[in-house]
Amino acid sequence: MPSILVTGCAGFIGSHLCQRLLSDGHRVVGLDNFDPFYDRTLKLANLAPLLSHPHFSFHEVELRHGAEALADALPADPIDVVVHLAAKAGVSPSVRQPIAYLENNVLGTTQLLEWMRQRDIKKLFFASSSSVYGNTPERPFREDMNLLATCISPYAASKLAGEQLTYTYHHLYQLDVLNARFFTVYGPRQRPDLAIHKFVRLLRAGQPIPVFGDGTTARDYTFVLDTVDGIARGVQYLLDHENVYETLNLGNNRPVPLLELIEEVGKAVGITPQLEFLPMQAGDVDITYADISKAQRLLGYQPRTSLADGLRQFVQWLAETHQAQLL
Which residues are catalytic, by number? 155
* Beta-carbon-side half-sphere exposure of residue 147 (alpha carbons within 13 Å): 21
> Rounded to whole angstroms, how far apart are CA atoms 283 and 88?
16
The count of residues in the chain is: 327
CB 326 within 8 A of CB 259: no
Spatial CB neighbours of 146, under 8 Å, sequence gap ≥ 6: none
> Rounded to whole angstroms, how far apart are CA atoms 182 and 217?
18
Round to the nearest angstrom and report the end-to-end CA distance of the chain. Answer: 40
> Rounded to whole angstroms, how far apart are CA atoms 284 and 135?
9
Cis? peptide before 279, omega within 30° of 0: no
CB 264 within 8 A of CB 307: yes
Nearest to 66 by CA among 30, 31, 109: 109
Farthest-apart Cα atoms in the chain, separation: 56
CB 186 within 8 A of CB 268: no
